[in-house]
Structure formats: structure tokens, C-alpha cells
Amino acid sequence: MKATQTLHDLGQSLWLDNITRDLLNSGTLKRYIGELSVTGLTSNPTIFDHAIKSSAYDAAIREGLDKGKSGESLFFDLALDDLTRAADLFRPVHDRTNGVDGWVSLEVSPLLAHDTASTIAAAKKLSARAGRPNLFIKIPGTKEGLPAIEEAIFAGVPVNVTLLFSREQYMAAAAAYLRGIERRIAAGLNPQVGSVASMFISRWDVAVAGNVPKTLDNRLGIAIAGRIYQAYLELLSNPRWQRAYNAGARPQRLLWASTGTKDTKASDVLYIKALAAPFTVNTMPEATLKALADHGELGLIMAPDGGDCEKVLAEFAKAGINVDSLAAQLQDEGAKSFVKSWNELLAVIASKSDALKKAA
């Protein structure tokens, strides 16, 4: 049995952190669903930036140009074409699991990360345009994003909360989700609105590489994950959350993101093995998914109490790492990185559009 199937049977959802038209047209995504137990996928501006550089999008870009589309408007047409096709592929999983699994994700413009009102409006618009029950709108868990998360959930828009790094950031995002659900219950609305909270893992280790003893290499992200996992399980058993479940709500699932190994000297499935846990999601790059299927071996599942995470984090503190300030820095850098990728994406679309116009 492939390790991907073993991980799925353990109770963790395997999602692909990639989307391209080639993946769809070639049948590769369908094969991953059938052969590698993939039950969802995520996207971001960087992924689309790389994808749209291929010629697979040329015809669609020409069509958009003929309709007078450009910039963000043209991009969202392209992205929604891909993601609605992917959502349809995952729809049987979504139906079979009663909405627990089988999701795809589309990000609002990163330029709106610090604009609550515009984020809410964009989330509602994109969700309505997609017209699929299994499409998450990604909203960053920044201070300005938290009210947008609550409002989107209250409006019935499924949300993938992104750019979360610490336990405190996760708890704030979870609280925003719950407030939205409780408002729906109070208003007599169906409280079953899907959501995941995406924790970025490998960026922790990249941030401290070369600044801590070798014995601590590639251990910070996993320790942070252990702390968050413990908090997640405590929330699931919290009476306030249980009252919402009793009214028909579903828990917001914890999702591990940024799980591709960045250190070439470390195992290419380092974070996959370390983050194996039931009722969670691991969204992994395509190369990591293939590595897991090819030679991955799973060990123990994550300890419900976080295992030795606090001991490890104490060692990082001794080494001069302040995880609270670093979490804030990583979230800020992540938001800026997405803006950079977004601008590069729009530049690629503009360049392609110009080239296609000249070739017409």
C-alpha cells in the first residue's frame, strides 16, 4: 500500500498545493485523485504565476482580450475556469464526506490583505461567481483579515484562512470563524459553513537557518505545529464549540501548509511524516506528494499533547529566537511575498496579452 493511502486511512486529508491547466487537461489531477488519495487542492498567486507562463492559457487569454478583459479581471476568469473544473473533479469526494473534504481554494487579491471591507466584498463576489459548494475563498489571518473572516462565514462563504504561523494567530482565526458561526445560529441560518485554518510550517525553519545550533535545524516548524495541534484539539472539546456543533456546525479543520522540505540535506518528506494526524489536512507540493508515494514511510502520529514541542521551543528561546516576534514577522513577510507574486502574475498576464495582440 502506498504511503499516500496509509496517510489517508489514518484520517488526514491529502491536498495538492498546485493547479495548472496542464494538470487538468492531461488527466494528471484525476489520476492523483484515483491513485494517490488526493482529496482537494489549494492555489495561490505564485502557483498561478508559474502556470500562466505556459502556452496552455493562450487561447483563454485571447478570448478574454476579445471581451475587453485585462489585469485582475482576466486573471480571475482564468483562475475560476481552472478551479471550477478542479472542484467538479473533487465533487464526488465532497458529496461522499458531506462537505468535510473535496475542497479547492481561490485567494482574494493579496492587495486587499489590510483592507477589511474590500476583502469581504471580494470574497462574496468570487464565491458567487464560482457557483460551487466546494470552493474555499482564501483570506489571510492578518489583524485586518479577521473581521473579514467572521463576516464571510456569517454570509455563508466557505473560508480557507491563510498566512497563519503561531498558536496565537491560529486561535484568533478560529475565534473569528466561531463568531461567524454563532451569528448564523442566532439568526436562524444553517451553521454548516466549511473552513480550514492554514498553518505555514517550513518557513519557520528557513527563517532561523544558520542562526541556531545544528541540533535545532529543521525542528522549529514541527515544534510550532505540535503547540498548535494541542490547541486545536483543546478547541474541539471546548464547551462553546460543542454548543455550536450541537446546533449543526462543523469544526474548522486544521491544515498544514508550506510542507515541502526546503533544506536539501533533510528528508523530502520530513514535514509529512512529522505532521501525520487525524482530522487534519496536509496540502503538499506536487514533488512532495510524489516523493511520499514513491518512498515515504510513516511513523507515529502527532502527540495530542504536543509531545516535546515546549521543550524544543525552550531550546530555541535559549538560542535567542523569540517565536512571538518571529511569527508576526513571518506573517508580514508572507503578505508582502503574496503581493509581490500577485504583481508578477499581473505582469505576466500583461506581457502575454501584448504578445498575443501583436501575433494576431
The catalytically annotated residue of 30, 138, 311, 358 is: 138
pLDDT of residue 358: 86
Lowest-pLDDT choice from 150-159, 195-204, 236-245, 293-302: 293-302
Mean pLDDT of 128-153: 96
pLDDT of residue 332: 94
Q: For the whole model, what pTM was predicted?
A: 0.96
Say whether pLDDT at 135 is over 90: yes
Say whether pLDDT at 26 is over 80: yes
pLDDT of residue 104: 98
Mean pLDDT of 173-195: 98
Say whether pLDDT at 357 is over 90: no
Mean pLDDT of 132-147: 95
Say whether pLDDT at 296 is over 90: no
pLDDT of residue 60: 92
Lowest-pLDDT choice from 91-100, 209-218, 291-300: 291-300
Active-site annotation holds for 30:
no
Q: Quick one: three-class SS letters along the chain?
A: CCHHHHHHHHCEEEEECCCCHHHHHCCHHHHHHHHCCEEEECCCHHHHHHHHCCHHHHHHHHHHHHCCCCHHHHHHHHHHHHHHHHHHHHHHHHHHCCCCCCCEEEECCHHHCCCHHHHHHHHHHHHHHHCCCCEEEEEECCCCHHHHHHHHHHCCCCEEEEEECCHHHHHHHHHHHHHHHHHHHHCCCCCCCCEEEEEECHHHHHHHCCCCCHHHCCCHHHHHHHHHHHHHHHHHCCHHHHHHHHCCCCCCEEEEECCCCCCCCCCCCHHHHHCCCCCEEEEECHHHHHHHHHHCCCCCCCCCCCCCHHHHHHHHHHCCCCHHHHHHHHHHHHHHHHHHHHHHHHHHHHHHHHHHHHHC
Mean pLDDT of 16-29: 95
Quick one: what percent of the chain has pLDDT higher than 90? 88
Say whether pLDDT at 360 is over 80: no
pLDDT digits 0-9 by tens, 51-109: 888 888 999 999 999 899 989 999 999 999 999 999 999 999 999 999 999 999 999 99
Average pLDDT, rounded, for the chain: 95
Say whether pLDDT at 196 is over 80: yes
pLDDT band for position 355 (50/70/90)? confident
pLDDT of residue 101: 98
Mean pLDDT of 155-161: 97
Mean pLDDT of 306-335: 97
Mean pLDDT of 174-182: 98
Mean pLDDT of 270-290: 97
pLDDT band for position 273 (50/70/90)? very high
Domains of the chain are 3-355 (3.20.20.70)
